[in-house]
Structure formats: C-alpha cells, structure tokens
A and B are shown apart, each in its own frame.
Chain A
Amino acid sequence: MAAGAGEHERADPSIGDSRPAALVLNGVSKYFNEVCALESVDLQISQGEFVTLLGPSGCGKTTLLRIVAGLDRLDTGVVEISGHTSTSTPPEQRPVNYVFQHYALFPHLDVADNIRFGLKVARTPREEAAERVGTAISMVQLEGLEARRVDQLSGGQQQRVALARAIVNRPDILLLDEPLGALDLKLRKEMQLELRALHRRLGGTFIYVTHDQEEALVMSNRVVIMRSGRIVQDGTPQAIYRNPRNRFVAEFIGETNLLAAQATETAIIVRNLDLRIPNESNATGDVSLSIRPEHLRLDDGAGTTEGGRLSVGGELLDSIFLGSLYRHLVRLGDGTILTVQELATDDRDHAIGSRVVVSWSPSDTAILPG
C-alpha cells in the first residue's frame, strides 16, 4: 500500500525547498545487534526549518537525532550536514549541538561554566566568549544565576542552561531530544512558546524530537512522523492533520473516529451502518474512514440534515462539558462509539440515553488504507 516506507513524498512542497539544505539523510540504517532501529531513512531539511520528529517510543527518532549529532554510528547510508558529507565525522567536528532529554549538565561546573564549555574547548577569545555567554544567558532568562551550581537549579532552569549551552556555539542545526519531557505541564507549555520564539530570533535550523503529538503541532512548521524505524509521513501539521496517510497517523495525530468500510470501484460502503459514498480515491478493498470529532455534528433526530451530508443514528452515551467545548459519545447500531466535538456556544441539552443523529460532510472524510 501507499503507506510503505521510504515512499513518502513531501506533502507540502512549498516549504523550505528554495533554501539550501541544512541536513540530508540518504538511506540511513542502524541496527542494534539484530534489531533494526532505522531502516533506510531519507530526509532532507532546509536551513531555517523547525522540524519535529514525532513517533511513539522506540520508533527510532532519538537514534536518528543521535546519528545526526555523530553520537551513534550508522550502519548504511550517508549524512550530509550543511553541504558537507559527515557520515563518519566525529561529534566534536560537526556544526550541530544537542540538547539532551535529561539535560546532561556538567555537575562539576557552575551555570556560566556549563554554558561557556563549548567556547572554551574551541578556544574562543575571552572577551568574545564572555559576550556570547552573556547574550545566551539573557536569551534564556537566567540572569543572576551564573554562579549557581547546576544541581541547585529547578528542572526548568536546568533545561534553560542546557539550551543556552547549545545555542551559544551558534550551531548550524540545533538538535533537541525531548527537552521538555521532564517538566510539568504548565512549564512545558511556556517553554514550547519560548522555543518557538527562540527559533524565530535565531533563525537557525531546529530538529526537535518528541512523542507528544500536541507538542509537535504547537512547535514546528514541519512534522515527520516515524514508526518502527521508518518515516511514515512528512509535512506541515495542517496537511498531516487533514490528510493522514494511514490509520496510524490518523490516530497518532489528534483524535479521530474510524469506521471500517469496503471500497469498490465506484463507491465506499460501510456495511454495518448502511452508508454509501462515491469512491473518488483509487482505494480498493478494506479501507477505514477517518472523521475528526470536530467535523461531526449532533442533531436530536428531529431536524433535517442538509443535502449531501452523511448521517447515522445512535444513542447518546455521555456528554462532557470541557469549557469551550462539548464532547459527546455516541454509540451506533453496530456498537461503534463515535466522539463528537461541538463548540459550547449554546447549551443545547441532549438527554443522555436519547436517540441522536450524527452527521458530517463527505469532504471531511479521509479514506485510509486498511
């Protein structure tokens, strides 16, 4: 099927292609013992992009990042950084810097010395180093903490030190390995916005690894979804959300309702629900229909649905008030449970247990293989 590895194409060709490439991966594979961590990965990232590698744990996203940094060796393939082949360049000679998941700050150095470390190793002149460290410290808002020991800092502050320690070297590519994973939710949201702002200010290339799909949508202008060592889909958050390539992506990015269906040459039929829509794709055989909760609408069954909308009847199981939204759970005749999300503008109260009709537009229906 179309979801196979290596066959992905850029969903939105308008991004980045005019700019020179910051990173090119060609057929990169990596094995740990006999286990395949990456299988023939191709990826091209242009200068100035903020790309998120997204996938469940164990999908190879961190391995990919470590290979770019030179921390892991690859078994096959080519890595090109800023136009130079870097496949076997040691990490210290690559123009990239890495922000580790648990920060990996040097416990024997204070905040300023941690940040200064890379400049010191590169023998940057003292005045220049001092100035750059000062700028980095103010950029991550750590003023006044320069002389602190790193184990006297909070998690959020340590995270900022790790970030400053990397950006002070002005890397061509900044690699961030789930840098917000250890922070609490509130701090995390704050840092997400700060990282976005930082990217705009520095204008460099950021590659960000996360397993949190929401974070991926918030942070980046391009998301690369990985699974089992392969790239599954690559595109803007919007494109991926609207046109997921397969069930995995549809379920991983955002929430969705899936209906099992059969595709014939002319129509797609959901047999259990007695639904039939014209088949405009070239899919055949078993398929899934994916409809996002916010594209579904709930009627109490009395009103008429406008022409062209699809509708199915069911029983309202529960209605959850989420402040700005309502979330309704509807059980269909065949037992499938649909999630419907509606803006809570008017308090139309559906009685739990009542019969309702769920409707949606055919254009909001994604047809996925399998």
Chain B
Amino acid sequence: MPPNLRALSLLNRSQRRSYLPPVATYPSIGWLLAGLLIPVSVFFLFSFWETGVFTLIRTWSLDQYREVVTDDLYYGLILRTLLLGLTVSAVVLPVAYLGAYVLRFIISRGRRIILFLIVASALASYLVRIYAWKAILTPAGILNSALDSLGLISEPLTLLGRPGVTIALTHILVPIAMLPIAGAMESVNPDLIRASRDLGAGPVETFLRVTLPLTARGVLTAFVLTFVLAVGDYVTPQLVGGKGSLMIGRVIFDQFGITGNYALASALSFSLIVAAAAFIVGVLLCVRVLTGGARRFGAAVTTTRSRRLRVVWPAWVRRLPWGHTYLLLLLLFLWVPLILVLILSFNQLPIASLPITGWTLDWYREIFTDQTIRGGFGTSLKVAGLVVAIGLAIGLPTAFAVTRRRFVTKPALMGAVVLPIALPGVVVGFSILAMFRFLEWIPSMRSIVLGQVTLVLPFVVLIVMAALQNFNRNVEEAARDLGCTYWGALRRVTLRILLPIIAGTALIVFAISMDEFVVTNFIVGTDPTLPPVIWSIMNRRGIPPTVNAVASILMVVPLIAAVVYMTLTRRTQRRPDAGMDRALGEEEVEKGLPFA
C-alpha cells in the first residue's frame, strides 16, 4: 500500500481515541452530579464558612478546621474512630477470609447453600442486626439473663461499649467482606495449589506464595469496604456503644439534629475523609511492604524446612471436619442473633430476656394497626419501586457503555460511579441535606429517591459490568448475523440472557432501598421510609416489644424474596457459555485440599 494511503487508513481506523464518555452514560453522570458531586461540593464549601445557630454566615474562614485540629475532643475522636475501623477490619478480614477459603477449597458438599445462608444474613435489615446485638448485650439483656438463670454470674456483665460495637460491626461486615474475597478465590484454580504442593512448597509456603497473592486484590477491596463502612457508621455506636464509645460519625450526625452547626459538621466530615484516606493508603503501603516480607518468609520456610521437624498430625485429627465446623460456627454467629429477635417477637413478656415463658401474636397485631409503621412501610415500597426503576434505567446503559466502549475518561467515570460506596454514609447523607438547605428546598420523597439512586448506582453498574465482561459477545454477533438489528440482538439475546442477573440486581437494589438508613435518615421529610420510623421507635426510652415484630418482618421478607428468586432462576442461572465449558470438560473441585 502506498504510504499516503496507509496514513489515511490509520486516521480512519475504527478505534479512534474518544475523549467524551458515550451518550449512554450521560443519565448516570447527571444523576451523580445531582446526587453526589454537587452536594458534596456544596457541603465542602460549608466548611470554609462561619456558622450561627442553624444558619450559615457566608464569610470565608478556616476557623472550623482550626477547631478540629486544635480541639482534642475532635481530633481524638477522629483518631479513635479510625482505630475502631482498624480493629473491626482486623477481626472481620481473617474471619471472612477463612470462611471464603474453606468454602472454596476445603469443603465440597453444601457450598451453594452455605454461601446463600451467609449472604442472606446480610439481607436481614441493618437496623435489626444492631438492635439484635443490643437486645443480647444490654445489662438486662438476653445473654446476661440467660447466664444469670444458669447461675453462672451474680451481676450483669458490661458488654456494651467498644466490645459491643466491634461485635455488632463484625456481624454486619463479615458477609459484605466475604463477597470480594470469595470472588477473588473463585478465580483461583485449585490446580495451582496442587501444582505448588507438587513443586515442593509446603502448605504455609503455598498459602503465602500462591493463594494469598492471587486473592490479595479481593482482600484489599474487602478492607476498604469494611473500613469505610465501620468509620462512617453512626448507628452502631449509638445503640450498642453505651458510655465512652462516642465515635466521630455520631458527632457529625448530632451537628445535623442537635447543634445545627453545619460548618463544623462539614469540616469534621472532610477531616474524616482525608484522615481515612491517608489511613487506607498507609495501611495499603504497609501491606505492600509486608507482602514482600511474607514472600521472603515463605522462602525462609522452604530453606529451613528440611532441617526442621515437621509436625505431622495423626490421621484422625486431619480427618475431622474442620471446614464444616468453622462454617457452622460462622453461620451460628450470623444467624443466632437474628433468630433470637424472631423468637422474641412472639414473647409474651415485653422484655428481652430468656427463657421464654409464654407465646403471643399481640405484637404483630399491634404493628398492623400502628399508623406510623404502616405509613413508613408504604413510603418504603414506593421509594424502593422508584429506586429500582430509575437505578436500572440509568445504570444498565452505563454498564454497557463502560464495558464495551473505549474512552479516555473511563477511569474518572468509574471513580465517580463507585464514590457513593467509597464515601462514609454520614458524609453522603449530610451532603444531600446540605444541598437541599442551600437551595432552600424541603426534603421529601424526592430527596430520598435522589439519594438512594445515587447509593445503588455503584451496585447496578458493577454487578451488570461483571456479568457483561463474562458475556460471550459471539452470541450477540450470531444474532446480528441471523438478521437482528443492533437493538433487536440486544433485546432478543443479550438482555434475555442477562435477565436473571438483571432481576437479581433489581432484587438487591430493592432490598438496599427498603433497608437503607444511614443516608436516608438525613434526607427524610415528613414522609419517612420504614427504617427511620423504626429508628425513632428504638430511640424511645425502653424499646417497645413491637420492634421485635417489625424487625422480624423486615428480616423475613427479603429472605423469602431471595428464596423465591433462587428457585425461579435455578434453571436459567447458568452462565451464558456453560455449553462451551461442558464441551471443554468441566473443572471439578475436589475435596480435601491441603491447608491444615
């Protein structure tokens, strides 16, 4: 080809560098601007203003930051909160990792059902779970009363406070942390571990050199999720924290309702974000240095192994069902508190204590006649319906565009899309509220929908993207080849094949919306959804036993939905290229892989 022609063809080639994001992403971009980027910017602006009582004085100053940095109450709180986040992560990550490991490599029977039970526990309402721990841990609560009636203690144990917060947050975060870790483990071929053993690495070295590095990304994702959620939580410290476990989230929240000092709330929020980000970066750097060390340690293990006496466990010890035992304990930890709430909802006595002396349905009868609860439930349904519809309508095109189109601004867009889950909930909530105050709009159902769609967008985009990345595009091309237009192929084939995943996403979004509290609590108007209603009931002096009944319903309904969904999609939920897998010979997962 002549050189000039060739140059021309290079200019005309189909993959030109595109800077602008595709049009399909515009609705999401618009929504993120309105629901997150602009509110957070406005809120950020607040921190440079002065404050009166429930008003802002628009003069520039750095006073708020000066106060945060100099007042040991504030920076002490930030530090304490970060330490709590670290403690919780340090408990959650090993528990979740071991769970995911056992599930992937040790056991072969019952994997699906166990994974389902673990994830399903996360579907049970957030507020309900914290409440369950409160019912268990309070001085006159289930644990103390049970221990007392067994004669094991003479006076109640103090369990609220830091231990209570850690336990409750662990309970909430283990299922969430397990998802990215289990995802990373799923992609580790068990043959790699066998190969490592075959090549002479012992179990410890295999773990340090093969399994851990291959799953490191999942662990880091889990760490960031766990840390951010723990740091931004203001509900758990309030309910199970007791005295002396005030956390920064709570202080920020109080600026909203009690003190009305928006400027300080803003300065505290951004100090928290900066501190948390610095902390995460610091931890990641440490991990990086340490993992290098771990590999060296692995090498040291090999070199010394021959000289060292190896511990050989007797066969009967190795044959014990360690994997199933661990998972059983994990499931008990996740489910017993929830089942206790369910049992208490039928308790005749209006106090949370064991053993149960008589049964009743009175509490259920009571909530069905309670106007506030019924109103809250109605609003929740409406909001959830809207959030599902809008979330899918703007999230699906974005997921398609991000997976299938190339554009230079893609990393920035993805950053913005995951920002709602990367920012502490207290900041997101306060920001939207701040924007509404700034524009002198009154929070209403619209503000809830605005906030919640922003929150669920990352889930829609990330889940659908993962599905699309595994989607065999040849199938879509086959449809084109057989006469379908672009949109026809999308409708008849692509969306049809992805239907179970889209339905699953809708279900998850619905559950998140019904249950969302941390952000929603800031932006409810006169027509609150159910979780803020329950929160206000819980905050009354002496929690009424009707809460047990509401909590049970909140817990059981998403579970039933999940079970129905699982049974409905059982047949179709195979991967689109399952047939090809079969042709190539399916990978089998064997029992008894060595890490023990």
Which residue of chain B has the shortest Cβ distance to A161 in the bound complex? B579
Query: Are A104 and B12 in contact, with the CB atoms below 8 A?
Result: no
> How far apart sit A39 and B474, CA to CA, in the bound complex (Å)?
25
Q: A151 touching B472 by the CB < 8 A rule?
A: no
Which residues on the A side are within 8 Å of B1 (C-beta)? Answer: 27, 29, 39-40, 76
Q: Which of A108, A118, A153 contacts B497 (CB 8 A)?
A: A108
Smallest Cβ-Cβ distance to B486: which chain A residue: A90
Contact A91 B9, CB 8 Å, known A100-B474, A151-B574, A158-B583: no
Q: Is there an interface contact between A108 and B572, defined as CB atoms closer than 8 Å?
A: yes
Q: Who on chain A is nearest to B574 by CB? A: A151
- On chain B, the residues within 8 Å of A71 by CB distance are 477, 480-481
CB distance from B102 to the nearest CB of A (A): 29
Residue A182 contacts which of B12, B485, B584 (CB distance < 8 angstroms)?
B584
- Asked whether, in the complex, the Cβ of B583 is within 8 Å of the Cβ of A104, the reply is no
Tell yes or no: A165 within 8 A of B by CB.
Answer: yes
CB pair A75 B482 closer than 8 Å: no
Within residues 179 to 212 of chain B, which ones have a CB less than 8 A from any CB in chain A? none
B9 contacts across to A, CB distance below 8 A: 29, 31, 75-76
- Interface mask (B457-488 → A, CB under 8 Å = 1, otherwise 0): 00000000000000010110111111111101
Residues of A within 8 Å of B497, CB to CB, are 106-108
B485 touches A100 (CB 8 A): no
Question: In the complex, are the beta carbons of A158 and B579 less than 8 A apart?
Answer: yes
Of the residues B15, B485, B486, B580, contact of A102 by C-beta under 8 Å: B580
- A5 — nearest CB in chain B belongs to which residue? B1
Report the tally of A-B residue pairs with Cβ distances under 8 A: 117
Contacts A75-B12, A75-B13 given: A121-B574 contact, CB under 8 Å?
A: no
Question: How far, in Å, is A159 (CB) from chain B's closest CB?
Answer: 9
Instruction: Decide: A98 and B477 in contact? CB cutoff 8 A.
Output: yes
A12 within 8 Å of B by Cβ? no
Write the chain B residue with the least CB distance to A73: B14
- Interface 0/1 of A120-136, CB less than 8 Å to B: 01100000000000000
- The reply to whether A106 and B475 contact each other, CB–CB distance below 8 Å, is yes
B365 on the interface (CB 8 Å rule)?
no
Choose from A100, A107, A151, A154 the contact partner of B477 (Cβ within 8 Å): A100
Contact across chains for B582 and A151 when beta carbons are under 8 A apart: yes
A105 on the B face (CB < 8 A): yes
**Chain A 83-122 against B: per-residue CB contact (8 Å), 1 yes, 0 no?**
0000000111000111011111111100000000110011
A75/B483 in contact, CB under 8 A = no
Residues from chain B with a CB closer than 8 A to the CB of A103 are 579-580
Least CB distance, A76 to chain B, in whole angstroms: 5
Chain A residue nearest to B572 (CB atoms) is A108
By the criterion of a CB under 8 Å from any partner CB, how many residues of chain B are at the interface?
A: 37
A9 within 8 A of B: no
| Proximity bits, B49-68, A CB within 8 Å = 1, else 0 | 00000000000000000000
Most chain A beta carbons < 10 A, residue from B1, B482, B578: B482
Q: A92-B480, A97-B481, A106-B493 are in contact. Are A31 and B579 (CB under 8 A)?
A: no
B485 lies within 8 A of A150 (CB):
no
User: B574 to chain A: which residues have CB within 8 Å?
Assistant: 107, 151
**A91–B13 contact, CB under 8 A?**
no
The answer to whether B14 and A121 have CB atoms under 8 Å apart is no
Cβ contacts under 8 Å, B578 to chain A: 107, 151
The docked-state distance in angstroms from the alpha carbon of A40 to that of B5 is 11
The count of chain A contact residues (Cβ–Cβ below 8 Å) is 44
**Cβ-closest chain A residue relative to B584:** A182
- Chain B residues near A182 (CB-CB < 8 A): 580, 583-584
What residue in chain B is nearest A158 (Cβ atoms)? B579
A153-186 vs B, Cβ < 8 Å mask (1 yes, 0 no): 1110010000001100100000000000010000
Complex Cα spacing A206 to B121, Å: 56
By a CB distance below 8 angstroms, the chain B residues around A98 are 477-478, 481
Interface centre among A72, A76, A107, A122 (most CB of B within 10 A): A107
Asked if B382 CB lies within 8 Å of chain A CBs, one says no
- The CA-CA distance from A72 to B14 in the complex, in Å, is 9
Q: Does B71 sit within 8 A of A, measured CB to CB? A: no
Cβ contact within 8 Å between B10 and A104: no
A226 → chain B, closest Cβ, in Å?
17
B482: contacting residue among A40, A97, A153, CB under 8 A? A97
Q: In the complex, what distance in Å separates the CA atom of A235 from the CA atom of B478?
A: 30
Q: Is A274 in the interface zone, CB < 8 Å from B?
A: no
Query: In whole angstroms, how far apart are the Cα atoms of A198 and B582 in the complex?
Result: 27
A92 and B483 within 8 A (CB): yes
A33: Cβ under 8 A from any B Cβ: yes
In the complex, chain A residues 51-100 whose Cβ is within 8 Å of any chain B Cβ: 69-73, 75-76, 90-92, 96-98, 100
| B576 within 8 A of partner (CB) | yes
User: Quick check: is B496 within 8 A (CB to CB) of the other chain?
Assistant: yes
Find chain B residues with CB under 8 A from A72 CB. 14
B448 to chain A, nearest CB (A): 36
Q: Does A334 contact B (CB under 8 A)?
A: no
For A1-45 the 0/1 string (1 means CB < 8 A from B) is: 000000000000000000000000001010111100001100000
Q: How far is the CA of A150 from the CA of B578 in the complex (A)?
A: 9
Closest 9 pairs between A and B when the two form their complex, measured CB to CB: A155-B583, A104-B474, A118-B482, A121-B483, A151-B579, A91-B480, A104-B478, A75-B9, A98-B481
Residues of A with Cβ closer than 8 Å to B? 27, 29, 31-34, 39-40, 69-73, 75-76, 90-92, 96-98, 100-108, 117-118, 121-122, 150-151, 153-155, 158, 165-166, 169, 182
Using A92-B485, A101-B474, A158-B579 as known contacts, list a sample of 16 further A-B pairs with CB atoms less than 8 Å apart, ordered by residue number in A: A33-B13, A34-B10, A69-B481, A75-B12, A90-B486, A92-B488, A105-B475, A105-B579, A107-B577, A108-B572, A121-B479, A151-B582, A153-B579, A154-B582, A155-B583, A165-B478
Interface residues of B (CB under 8 A from A): 1, 5, 8-10, 12-15, 472, 474-475, 477-486, 488, 492-493, 496-497, 572, 574, 576-580, 582-584
What are 30 inter-chain pairs, A to B, with CB distance below 8 A? A29-B9, A31-B13, A39-B1, A69-B477, A69-B481, A71-B477, A71-B481, A72-B14, A75-B13, A76-B1, A76-B9, A90-B480, A92-B480, A92-B482, A92-B483, A92-B484, A98-B478, A98-B481, A100-B478, A104-B478, A107-B576, A107-B579, A117-B482, A118-B483, A122-B483, A151-B582, A154-B583, A155-B583, A158-B583, A182-B584
